[in-house]
Amino acid sequence: MPAKNQRGLSVNLSMNRQVSNIVEMALSEDIGTGDVSASLLKDTTVSAQIIAREAGVICGIEYAQTALLALDGDMQIEWQLGEGDKIQKNQLLCTLSGSSRAIISAERVALNFLQTLSAVATQTRHLVDKIAHTHAQLLDTRKTIPGLRLAQKYAVKCGGGVNHRMGLYDCMMLKENHIMAAGGITQAVAMAKAQYADLALIVEVEDLTQLSEVLTLKGITRVLCDNFSLDRLVQAVDMSAGIVPLEASGNIDSTTIVSIAQTGVDFISIGSITKNIQAIDLSLRFI
């Protein structure tokens, strides 16, 4: 069921259906049959502001705006900055003018999107800046909040990171269990290329022996070195030079990412930028 505004009308949704669908679901689970607290208020036109209570990188403007406009299509929203911009503590993010009931009812959903996606963008930017002196690129993973994968991967891009595969459908990735079930790396790669020749193919290896085998095979897009030590990563980079790009993954964080990037790997994937995040503190207040 589509969410309803305080006048009982169907919400006005963004032209971006992917954003609209996520926002509609969030509004529906929050408002349900109606915002009983907001119904106590006289519905008047008011002004409000969204303020940052801590520094970070802003992301989620379209999601927040879609939530607000869904409940009041005539609401005036003026953003003071753009997606991916750095924000400072106590900085004004936007001003609003519209229905008091609509603003109150949409407030939490709008802020939830802004706070969560800004957290992803902020953590991503922090790590991207740490390895900026190397040629390594930071990748996200599939370790995302259910239902928010598109949103979180968008936030990674806002923070300067690069998206890994979107899901299980747009790229083949052969991991330990795939390889074991297929009878080995060579057999797994042959099966993958025979059935999905046009898809990118990433193969995970756990040691240099497996890497040596992979380097003899054709049609591999990238090799993922899982939980390699720094010494082994240096050797892997030397072995694969000019043959196939390397991705490092496994228990990488802000304390180890620089040393890993300096080994010469092409990509570093970290699940924590979408999984282990702390929401950016924002507030919405009438003025």
Give residue-wise pLDDT tens across range 56-65: 999 999 999 9
| Mean pLDDT calculated for residue range 249-259 | 95
> Does residue 240 carry a pLDDT above 50?
yes
Note the pTM of the prediction, 2 decimals: 0.90
CA angle at residue 82 from 3 to 131, to 5 degrees? 115
Q: Taking Cα atoms as reference points, which of 53, 192, 6 lies closest to residue 204?
A: 192
φ, ψ of residue 85 to 5 degrees: the values are -75, 145
- What length is written for the chain? 287
Residues of the chain with CATH 3.90.1170.20: 17-124+278-286
pLDDT at 75: 95
| Mean pLDDT calculated for residue range 51-56 | 96
User: What's the CA gap between 84 and 103, in Å, rounded?
Assistant: 24
pLDDT at 16: 79
Give alpha helix (H) positions in 51-204.
61-71, 100-130, 149-158, 176-182, 185-195
> Does residue 175 carry a pLDDT above 50?
yes
pLDDT at 1: 32
> Does residue 2 carry a pLDDT above 60?
no
Q: What's the fold here for domain 128-275? A: TIM Barrel (3.20.20)
CA angle at residue 217 from 212 to 219, to 5 degrees? 135
End-to-end alpha carbon distance in the chain:
33
> Is residue 24 very low, low, confident or very high in pLDDT (cuts 50, 70, 90)?
very high
> Does residue 190 carry a pLDDT above 90?
yes
User: What's the CA gap between 120 and 123, in Å, rounded?
Assistant: 5
> Does residue 194 carry a pLDDT above 50?
yes
pLDDT at 114: 97
Indicate which residues carry an active-site annotation: 108, 143, 175, 204, 226
φ, ψ of residue 115 to 5 degrees: the values are -70, -45
Q: To the nearest whole percent, how much of the chain has pLDDT over 70?
A: 95
User: What's the CA gap between 166 and 124, in Å, rounded?
Assistant: 17
**Widest Cα–Cα separation across the chain:** 72
Residues of the chain with CATH 3.20.20.70: 128-275
pLDDT at 18: 85
Give the chain's radius of gyration (CA, Å): 23
**Average pLDDT in the chain:** 92
> Is residue 7 very low, low, confident or very high in pLDDT (cuts 50, 70, 90)?
very low
> Is residue 277 very low, low, confident or very high in pLDDT (cuts 50, 70, 90)?
very high
| Mean pLDDT calculated for residue range 80-109 | 95
| Mean pLDDT calculated for residue range 106-118 | 97
| Mean pLDDT calculated for residue range 254-276 | 97
pLDDT at 10: 35
| Mean pLDDT calculated for residue range 207-214 | 97
As given in the structure block, the two tokens for residue 160 are 């300067």
| Mean pLDDT calculated for residue range 211-222 | 96
pLDDT at 17: 83
More confident position, 115 or 13? 115
| Mean pLDDT calculated for residue range 127-140 | 98
Give whole-number Cα distances, 94 to 170, 195, 234, in Å.
37, 50, 47
User: What's the CA gap between 263 and 225, in Å, rounded?
Assistant: 12
Q: Which CATH architecture has domain 17-124+278-286?
A: Alpha-Beta Complex (3.90)
> Does residue 73 carry a pLDDT above 90?
yes
Half-sphere exposure for 43 (CA within 13 Å, toward CB): 15
